[in-house]
Amino acid sequence: MTRPLLLVDVDGVISLFGFDVRRPPAGRWQSVDGIPHYLSAVAGEHLRGLAEVFELAWCTGWEEKANEYLPAALGLPGPLPHLCFGAVEPAVRAHWKLAEVVRFAGPDRPVAWIDDAHDHRCHDWASARGAPTLLVATDPAIGITAEHVEMLRGWAAAQALAVSE
């Protein structure tokens, strides 16, 4: 059985922003091409756990840059597949990532997508999609949490059960 696909955004999921700098969440600063990013202290552990039940792929404007910095910083096996947003002509009035998400995920594979910026167009697509689809929203000041991981693992288990029936 092919594991479900988990599309992972970086900014707002792993690289946090918008938090109170006087009381930052657990994490550390890392320079990425000279730009400081505050990486969540728990993101690596969470993603390693999710890699047990999902195929992970970067779904970020970082594109291939994610593989240059994040697997080593987060303790992930790498490189991971990544979406290329210049590869597909974006649809008019669609979320900027959606055309590539549709192409990359294909029509039949179960897919979960964790991001801090889903909009109504993403939800419309997920609702209309023929294959199981889960959108997981994060708070960009907190990023991926244990609750997100629990939700995603439960959803992946339900997909595996549906296939075995």
Alpha helix positions (H), the chain = 43-50, 65-74, 98-105, 120-128, 146-164
- Is the distance from CB of 114 to CB of 58 less than 8 angstroms? no
The pLDDT, as a whole number, for residue 89 is 63
Overall number of domains in the chain:
1
Tell me, what's the pLDDT at 41? Answer: 97
Q: What is the pLDDT of residue 93?
A: 61
CB 57 within 8 A of CB 71: no
Domain containing 100 equals 5-164
Do 44 and 69 form a contact (C-beta atoms < 8 A)? Answer: no
Over the stretch 38-47, which tens digit does the pLDDT of each residue have?
999 999 999 9
Handedness of CA 107, 147, 149, 15 (dihedral sign): positive
Helices marked H in 5-142: 43-50, 65-74, 98-105, 120-128
Letter string b/e over residues 22-41, b meaning 16 or more CB atoms within 10 A of that residue's CB:
eeeeebeeeebeeeebbbbe
> What is the rounded CA–CA span in Å between residue 62 and residue 37?
12
Task: Tell me the per-residue pLDDT of 117-134, one tens digit each, with 9 for 90 and over.
Answer: 999 999 999 999 999 999
- Phi/psi for 86 (5° steps) reads -85, -10
Specify the CATH number for the domain of residue 89.
3.40.50
Question: What global pTM score does this model have?
Answer: 0.93
For the chain, list residues with pLDDT below 50.
Answer: none
